[in-house]
Amino acid sequence: MEKIKIGIYGYGNLGKGVELALKNNPDMQLVGIFTRRNPTDVYALFNDTQVFSVDDAEKMKDKIDVMILCGGSATDLPEQGPKVCKLFNTVDSFDTHAKIPEYFSKMNSVALESNTLALISCGWDPGLFSLNRSLLESVLPNGNNYVFYGRGLSQGHSDALRRVEGVKNAVQYTVPYGEAVQRVRDGENPNFASVRETMWRECFVVPEDGADKNKIEKEIKEMPNYFEPYNTVVHFISEEELKKNHNTMPHGGFVLRSGNTSENTNQIAEFSLKLDSNPEFTASVLVAYARAIYRMKNQGNTGAITVLDVPVSLLSSKNRDELLKEIL
């Protein structure tokens, strides 16, 4: 069987995760990593991984079935997405929720024009969580959606901590309140007045030598949007402790739907993730969906789509008979 030929565009944590995930999927083959850096300066995880410059991507148009875009949503993807989907079928993890309609519209028009297929906003949220939100809302139209994040490391909030004066290094964990999750699981259908009731933020901060810790803590707790709306706890630790105990990127969360099918009959459905590594899991989702994109393109589909448009059977390496016998 011919393997599905995959390219990785951008090589940070997510790109490395894709490189790892492809090793778990023997029906796919990594053609190479495309980087904006000098390719000879990039060291891939595996010796046999080829590294190219993004400038050489166009020449390899016919050698790659699906390009997985591993850049960030803030500045990389809005520019790279439309550029790359002119040449390749793409999968990306664009996750700026408020800008998804605009990004979809741009990607859709470029992909339709270029006869390519672009899956946007894949991963776990947006991604598998979106899939469950839509599925469960459709099955239980008379109900409420709940989402909780954590316990997990938030890259954006960690970055915000590092911008505070006197902070040398820092990480932030988002932590759901167990009691709030339990109230939903118990079918109470609670109305939470604010996010403060559903999750809190735990910060581990390495101060600069001689920095004023009280001032740092106050500034963090009062930071609008990032920390002010939440209960926030700040721990001061040493650089060694940070390197030793906070060097992985765990994350996770829950999507819950609680709804009535008739008066006094409540039904609760929950999808949850507990991840040792957020980027490796996100990458694994992108790779499974790359298989589906390859197949959907072969079926003649073009334009932009989301995970909601992809039948799950197309993600699987199993054929129809195996799915009927082993999965259904």
131 touching a copy of itself, by CB under 8 A: yes
Minimum CB–partner distance for residue 249 and a copy of itself (Å)? 10
Range in contact with a copy of itself (rule: CB under 8 A) among 71-79, 192-200, 234-242, 267-275: 267-275
Interacting residue with a copy of itself among 31, 81, 291, 293 (CB under 8 A): 291
Range in contact with a copy of itself (rule: CB under 8 A) among 48-56, 75-83, 190-198, 274-282: 274-282
Interacting residue with a copy of itself among 114, 155, 277, 301 (CB under 8 A): 277
| Phi, psi angle pair for 150, to nearest 5° | 110, -175
Range in contact with a copy of itself (rule: CB under 8 A) among 5-13, 81-89, 208-216, 282-290: 282-290
Which of residues 133 and 183 has its CB atom nearest to a copy of itself in the complex?
133
283 touching a copy of itself, by CB under 8 A: yes
Cα–Cα distance measured from residue 50 to residue 24, given in angstroms and rounded to the nearest whole number: 18
Q: Residue 224 carries which DSSP code?
A: T
The order of strands in the sheet holding 28-35 is 51-53, 28-35, 4-9, 66-69, 89-91, 117-119, 303-305
268 touching a copy of itself, by CB under 8 A: yes
Range in contact with a copy of itself (rule: CB under 8 A) among 4-12, 209-217, 221-229, 319-327: 319-327
Which of these, 76, 63, 87, lies nearest to 35 by C-alpha position?
A: 76
Cα–Cα distance measured from residue 100 to residue 110, given in angstroms and rounded to the nearest whole number: 15
Distances (CA, A) of 181 to 72, 129, 217: 30, 16, 28
Interacting residue with a copy of itself among 13, 20, 49, 219 (CB under 8 A): 20
Q: Cβ(174)–Cβ(157) under 8 Å?
A: yes
> Mind giving me the DSSP string for 6-52?
EEEES-SHHHHHHHHHHTT-TTEEEEEEEESS-GGG---SSTT--EE
Minimum CB–partner distance for residue 140 and a copy of itself (Å)? 6
Label residues 122-134 b or e (16+ Cβ within 10 Å = b). bbbbbbbbbbbbe
295 touching a copy of itself, by CB under 8 A: no
Residues that bind a copy of itself (CB under 8 A): 17, 20-21, 24-25, 97, 100-101, 104, 121, 126, 128, 130-135, 137-142, 185, 187, 261-262, 264-277, 280-281, 283-285, 288, 291, 306-313, 315-318, 321, 323-325, 327-328
